[in-house]
Amino acid sequence: MENRLNRLETVQATLLEIGQLSASCSDITEFIGAVHRALGRIMYAANFYVALGDHDDGTVRFVYFVDEADAAPDPEEKITLASPEQSPTAWVMLNRRTLVMTAAEHNARGPDGNGWGVGSTAEHWMGCPLLDQQHQALGVIVIQSYSPEYTFSDEDQALFALLANHVSNALQGMQSMDRLERAVQERTAMLEQQNAALSTAMTALREAQSELVRQEKLASLGRLVAGVAHEINTPLGICVTATSHLVQELKLTREELAGGAMTQDSLEEFLGIVDQSLRILTTNTQRAAALVRSFKQVAVDQSSDAIRSFNLKTYMHEVLLSLQPKLKGRPVLVEVDCAPDIVLDSFPGAVSQILTNMVVNSLVHGFEHEQAGSIVIKAARDGETVVLDYSDDGAGMDADTLAKLFDPFFTTRRGSGGSGLGAHILYNLVTGPLGGTVKVNSAPGQGLRYRLRFPRSRRKETVVV
């Protein structure tokens, strides 16, 4: 039981790590190598490769290849896919379907029914397609074993399919960033040439800058949407794994009961498994629901959201609970100091998004991944106004960076996961739906401090005439 629960926790941590890697790695090969190392912590992964396709010419490249039996192909060599019968990799790529084979099944396939004849025959082979949002194949991810000692269970296959989905989302984001950076470089070169002209060139420059801002806004919002989808996949995948585990334990317990082998110890062990599994399911379903609710607040215009009464301290703890996957594994302590009797009649979605953006910005910009630190959130009443102080003891920022903090699309992590919209959205939520003010102070090495002031009630009485 402990081994399975430990594996479930390792799976959760691994999926979260992969999500973080997609934001921190700029090189696709480096990212896939990190995914391989992370995969090795949850299943046998000595033989692993990824091939990416080119829709323009119908070829694939083996961008990452680790194998005990076969030599790695040239990562720059393009291989034309003639038909699904060419190889197992071609079959998965062209059919856009998962393929799992034993050695016997491998040898029985191929164009003449005598095996594919490409590479060494694996004892157990598993390949999943990497698909984009239009269900087009980006490539193939494969894991295999040459030893009967290591085969892949149904649970392993489900986990590998979930991993493939995470890698697909990450690759789309990384490729989109590459295309955006190339577009920006091309636009910049064009603007530099036009800048040599007089008034006509200046007009063209302003028009090009306006278009660039529009493109960046769309791309930034697209990355935010992809990030939310990626985060929702993680708790749902964990729920699937926990449910499978619970079903298997229930089957074993029923067999013990039917066979008269049930003891008090085995019953208590089963009840312990049920208790822990239900807690895992409850936590992750609540987290998925919270992510969906929070995503509705990402847009700057929050005027259509419903007002309701809620306890601020209780709600802040709920928001921080939904952020635990981002905090897990980070030596950053979050402390909340809020009076228990502060009840707001306002927009809970705005409060949720504000807290989320502040904490995430601290983790991304304030602390290195292994750096210890603390975040303190204090809230107190001042008459009919609430004063919320947020501070971290992270890296801080200089005066020039601080002056641009609330500007849209400004980020110090361009190309490394920064959208440039987090602080801008925070400012608009405080001054818009919450009807308050926000001040910020920081200095290099002195952390970052926000002070928010907003009324406890935003409900306007309707006068019936």
Residue 370 lies in a domain: yes
Dist. CA 175–CA 275, nearest whole Å: 42
Residue 230 in tokens:
């990626």
Q: Tens-digit pLDDT profile for the chain (465 aa)?
A: 556 667 777 777 777 777 777 667 667 888 888 889 888 888 899 999 999 888 777 888 898 999 998 888 888 888 888 788 888 998 999 999 999 999 888 888 754 555 676 678 899 999 999 988 888 888 999 999 999 999 998 888 988 888 888 888 877 776 655 544 554 455 566 666 666 666 665 666 556 544 544 454 454 445 445 555 666 777 788 888 888 888 888 888 888 888 888 888 888 888 888 888 888 888 888 777 766 665 554 333 333 457 888 899 988 888 887 677 678 778 999 999 999 999 999 888 788 888 888 898 888 888 887 899 999 999 999 999 999 999 999 988 888 888 878 776 666 655 454 555 667 778 888 988 899 999 999 999 899 999 999 999 987 643 333
- The answer as to whether 201 is a domain residue is no
CB atoms within 10 A of CB 34: 17
The pLDDT value given to residue 299? 38
Pairing of β 332-338 and β 373-382: parallel
Two tokens, residue 122 = 């694996």
In this structure, what DSSP letter does residue 166 have? Answer: H
Q: What is the 3-state secondary structure of 30-93?
A: HHHHHHHHHHCCCCCCCEEEEEEEECCCCEEEEEEEECCCCCCCCCCCCEECCCCCCCHHHHHH
The pTM of the full predicted model, rounded to 2 decimals, is: 0.40
Question: Angle, to 10 degrees, between the axis of helix 2-24 and the axis of helix 28-39?
Answer: 170
* Among 82, 157, 171, 167, residue whose Cα is nearest residue 127: 157
217 falls within a domain? no
How many whole angstroms separate alpha carbon 419 and alpha carbon 337?
30
Q: What is the CATH number of the domain that holds 369?
A: 3.30.565.10
Q: Give how many domains the chain has, as a whole number.
A: 1
Q: What SS3 string covers 253-267?
A: HHHHHHCCCCCHHHH
In a domain, 116, yes or no: no
Residue 436 within a domain: yes
State residue 13's pLDDT score: 78
The answer to whether the CB of 3 falls within 8 A of the CB of 155 is no
Q: Which domain holds residue 409?
A: 308-455
Domain presence at residue 276: no
Helix (H) or strand (E) holding 106: helix 103-107
Residue 123 lies in a domain: no
Residue 15 domain-assigned (yes or no)? no
